[in-house]
Amino acid sequence: NRPDFEEDIEDQPLSTVIELRAAELGIRFLYIPVDGVPTLEAVHRTKQALDSADGPVLAYCLSGMRSIMLLSQALVLRGDFTIDELIAKAQTLGYNINRLRPEFDSIAA
């Protein structure tokens, strides 16, 4: 979920480099960059990724906040958890995603 060239950091690897290395290791890599609050398109792409995964899924960004927001919204869309369950789980991990309640409500509807 981390966009290429997000910061002016020389050691941030490009998604294409990560994708090539992942392929060498037999890992499927999907580039779903998020700049700010996840778009509905990114939520749907993440849901599709979760639906087609045959094992664990790793999402990453700079701090984890965008990834937790995106994954939470995709899980609401899938119906795996209630909104309150996801907000509470994110809180235990140190992320406050309560501000996304309107987006969660819209997705769940």
Q: Residue for token digits 């890599």?
A: 29
Q: In the prediction, which pLDDT does 21 show? A: 96
pLDDT tens readout for residues 16-55: 999 999 999 999 999 999 998 889 999 999 999 999 999 8
* Tokens standing for residue 20: 């090539």
Distance CA 25, CA 42 (A): 25
Distance CA 85, CA 78 (A): 14
Could you tell me the pTM of the whole model?
0.86
* Tokens standing for residue 46: 């993440």
